[in-house]
Amino acid sequence: MKRLILLLAIPALFSCSAQPVSSEETSLLSKEPLVQESQPPANEVADSRSPINFKRQTGRWLPYLEYPELMTGRSAEQFRNAVRDRFSQAAEDGVNTVYVHVRPTGDAYYSSSLFPPGTALDGEYDPLKIMVDEAHSLGLSIHAWINPLRLQTEEDMKNIPESYITRQWADQQKFARLVNGRWYLVPAYKEVRELINREVSEILDNYSVDGIHIDDYFYPTVSPDFDGEAFAASGSSDLDKWRLSNITEMVKGIYDTVKAGDDRILFGISPQGSIPANYNSQYADVRLWAGQKGYCDYILPQIYFGFRNETAPFEKTLREWEDIRGSSGVSLIIGLAGYKTGKEDQWAGAAGELEWIEDADIIEKQINAVENSSADGYSVYY
C-alpha cells in the first residue's frame, strides 16, 4: 500500500459512542451496526466485549510505512500519544473505522509466536494492544490488517532467526518463493493456508479487534515457475482456474477462522479496482467474493481512477462493482485515490493524465458519486 494520510474532503460529524446515533439510514456516518449482535461464542475473544462495527464505513488506513515515524526510537508512552493524536484527528474528520497494519512484510506488530517482531519496533511494548486501546477509547472500530502472502526482502530474510517457519520455508524454497527480490508464501499449499489461519486465530485470541482486513497482495506474478511444482502435483490442467481456487481457498479459510472465533467480528478484503486485472494478474475471484456471502463481510475495491480515465473511468467502474455485489448482502466500501490529487496520472491515457491536476475537487465529486450509489461507504488514500 502507498503511504496513506486520510483527510476527508467533506466535513462530517463524528460521535465517540458505539451506539447508533443517526436515524438517517443513508448517512455515511451511521452508527447502526453493520451486523446484528449475537451471543458471544463459547471461545470468547480477549475480553468478551461487543465488537464495534458500523453499517456504513468511513475508513482510514494506518500502514507500516508510517511506523518508523510513530514508533522507531520511541517509548510506549510516546507511541501511545502519537497514535492517540492520529486516531483523534481521524475521529474529528468523521472516520469511524481504522485499518492498522499488523503483519505487512512477514513481520508482526503484535505479540506473535509465528512471525518475528516488526522491523520498525525497537521498544519493549505491544503496538497492537496500544492501538486497540486508543481506538476503542474514541469509539472507533479497529481492524487488524495483514498481508497474508508477502514476506521479507531477500536481504532482510537473511537476518530472520531460523526458528521462524517463514525463514525455514525460504531456505527450502518450496512453500516460499522469491519474486523480484522479495519472498512470498505460495498459497497452493495447505501448510501455508494453515499458517495464515493460525495467525488470524492468534490475533483474535489475544486482542479485541473488530475485524480482520487484507488488501490486494495475492499472487505476486503470473510466471508459471512460481508454483509450478504444486501445479504439476495437483492434477489440474488449467493454471488460471487452479490459482483462482487457491486464493479463494485462502480467503475462505480466513473468513471461517474469523467466524469461528466470533461471528460478530468482520472480515474485509480490499482488492485492486480493475475487475479484469484482479483475474488477469492476481487470480482474485472478486465476483465470487462480492457476489456471495461466506467469503467476506465487506469488499473495498481500490477504485483509483479519475472520471476521464480511458481504461477504467470512475463512474463506470463503480457501477461494475455495484453489479457484481448485487443483492448478496456483502457490504461494498469504495477506496478513493486522494494521493493522486495534484499529480499527473500517467496510466490514465491522454484524456485523463492531467485530470488530477486540473480538477481540485475530484475527490469530493467521487464521494458524491459514492453517496448516490448503492455502496456502503468509502475510504480515501492520501
Q: Where are the domains of the chain?
A: 57-269
Q: What is the pTM of this model?
A: 0.88
How far apart CA 88 and CA 205 sit, in angstroms, is: 27
How far apart CA 297 and CA 280 sit, in angstroms, is: 24
The fold for domain 57-269 equals TIM Barrel (3.20.20)
Cell numbers for 167, please give them.
525463514
What is the reported pLDDT for 372?
97
Determine how many CB atoms are found less than 10 A away from the CB of residue 88: 15
Helix (H) or strand (E) holding 132: helix 127-137
From the centroid of its chain, how far is CA 154? 24
**Which string of b and e fits 235-272 if b means at least 16 CB within 10 Å?**
eeeeeeebbbbbbbebbbbbbebbbebbbbbbbbbbbb
**Which string of b and e fits 22-49 if b means at least 16 CB within 10 Å?**
beeeebbbbbbbbeeeeeeeeeebeeee
How far apart CA 85 and CA 89 sit, in angstroms, is: 6
Instruction: Using 50 as the pLDDT threshold, list the residues of the chain that sit under it.
Output: 1-47
Single out the residue of 292, 128, 142, 94 nearest to residue 206, CA to CA: 128
DSSP string, 312-351: S-HHHHHHHHHHHHTTS--EE-EEEEGGGTTS--TTS-TT
Work out the end-to-end distance of the chain between its first and last CA atoms, rounded to an integer number of angstroms: 11
Residue that the C-alpha cell 448478496 belongs to:
328
What is the reported pLDDT for 380?
81
What is the reported pLDDT for 49?
77
Single out the residue of 138, 60, 73, 154 nearest to residue 101, CA to CA: 60
What is the reported pLDDT for 48?
59
